[in-house]
A and B are shown apart, each in its own frame.
Chain A
Amino acid sequence: MSSPDRTGSLAVYRQIFRIRLAGGLQYRVAALAGLATQFAWGFMKLLMYRAFLEANPAAFPMTPAAIAAYVWLQQGLLMLLFPWFLDHQIFAGIRSGQLAVELLRPWDLYTSWFVANIGRRLAATVLRALPLFAVAVCLPPGWRLGPPVSAVAGLSFAFSLILTLLLVTAFTMFVYIASLRALSPLGARTLLLGFSDFLTGGIIPIPFMSPGLQRLLGLTPFASMQDVPLRLWSGDIPLAEIPVTLARQAFWLVVLVALGWLWMRRALRAIVLQGG
């Protein structure tokens, strides 16, 4: 049998992607329940920012329209943007030894997990984002999700959203690979994800943080995750800074994928497949 050509191996990953997308779309009830949470959460956040704004408008680093867009886009795209949306099948497979079967397939395990995660994230997002946005655009001014400020903002948002999805997934790959080494990586996982939630701007947008912390974060991949697309939409990132911001995202993507791929190769050498 000849070795597979390039399009052949792409077909493999397309297949993985399809399975996970189809699998994820089954969870309609979970999505509905999540939707209610995201609405409540979004309103709560907006109320909080309103209070800040009224207390001291001069110190408020974003426009009301920008913060509303930030909050609704974040709530709708939760499953694309946040590192904590992990694939528990992977952890279960490592613990039970089912990983052995995955390694018997003619695929690159890193790519296969990566693609499966993208599929899951997209499936979960499709179910939540559209209904949430449909309501969020109808809210009164100052509360609603407006259109992107310009065509450039809209396009760069879309482009940056894809980069963010890939970057966040590349980041979570480290969590999976870590669990190849330690059987119960719960401690490391909790710590890593808790910090990244804050550092990516998941709790408050990065512009609300102290200047020192902002500078520090600028040197890490965290500032290149959700912060970028969520602020591009409303023009909160100035036009002139868009190219360098996107380039920084791409740079971190390449770095994280390369490091993760190499680390996985090392981890698989030392792996102990559980069970007989």
Chain B
Amino acid sequence: MIEVRGLSKEYHVRRRGSGAAAVWRSFFSRSHDVIQALDDVSFRIADGEMVGYIGPNGAGKSSTIKILSGILWPDSGSCLIDGRVPWLERREHVRQIGVVFGQRSQLWWDVPVGDSFVLIRELYQVPAADFHRRLDELSELLDLGELLRTPARQLSLGQRMRCELAAALLHGPRILFLDEPTIGLDATAKLAVRHFIRELNREHGTTVILTTHDMQDIEALTGRILLIGRGRILLDGSLSELKQASAGHGNLDELVARLYQRYELA
């Protein structure tokens, strides 16, 4: 159970113009703007749900995921995940979650993927029997095979993403956070990743929270959508409710673009 109430977070962004004069001025007086990344965000996600978290760039999606995974402290608001406050009990919390950042790797880049997995097993102290059972299952579902013996740096993006998914699940987390898991993937790889996430949710009841810009991910995976813009939750409902809200025709991308316009996000 994930319960988020009134979460707010602001960032200070240093600004200065370009050119020598601006650099000189900024040396003496720095100006910064306050960016409200999250502004009173509240929602509740039940066990076993699959939720798509969408919104334009800079809307606050990644900040939310970072706070929910315990690595970023909010300025105010509360969040309880299975009875824990993620950022206060980070070490216990991260044992229960898996996180995949599409733009970052959690594999040790110069050792074979299989070695990284063994390290992860030891870091999370996964009992040997559990580890082998999960690894067999993940290898089959994600078609890892030969990849396990390949150094992470030599994997293609699609191969790497499959390995990242496995790496995030070896310790059997109850909740999986996916931050743009299909970014940059080709059609085949996207389908494989989506298929896998669906299976995972169905077989193990893993709660999945997914941020993405790919509306096909949303369509294929999630029953529920959270739309965030300028740090606020603008819509919380099903895909058909989202279609209604955008009141128009066209494909999903067009619908969402219209929705962003309506909320003056774009």
Contacts and interface: CB of A to CB of B under 8 A. Distances in A.
Interface of A: 1, 3-4, 8, 11-12, 15, 19, 97-98, 100-101, 103-108, 268-273, 275-276
A15 B119 CA distance: 8
Given A100-B66, A101-B105, A104-B106, A11 B125 contact: yes
A152 to B, nearest CB: 40
A1 B94 CA distance: 12
B96 A273 contact: no
A100 B104 contact: yes
Given A15-B119, A268-B73, A276-B62, 8 more contacts: A100-B104, A104-B69, A106-B94, A106-B124, A271-B73, A273-B71, A275-B103, A275-B104
Nearest to A276: B62
Contacts of A1: 95-96, 172
Contact of B123 (A107, A270, A276): A107
B71 A103 contact: yes
A12 to B, nearest CB: 6
Contact of A104 (B11, B71, B92): B71
Contact of B125 (A4, A271, A273): A4
B101 A101 contact: yes
A270 B87 CA distance: 12
A271 B72 contact: yes
B163 interface: no
B69 to A, nearest CB: 6
A272 B11 contact: yes
Contacts of B99: 104
B133 interface: no
Contact of B91 (A11, A101, A106): A106
Contacts of A270: 73
Contacts of A97: 104
Contacts of B70: 103-104
Given A100-B66, A101-B106, A276-B62, A19 B119 contact: yes
Contacts of B71: 100, 103-104, 273
Contacts of B123: 12, 15, 105-107
Contacts of B69: 104
Interface in B69-87: 69-73
Contacts of B96: 1
B132 interface: no
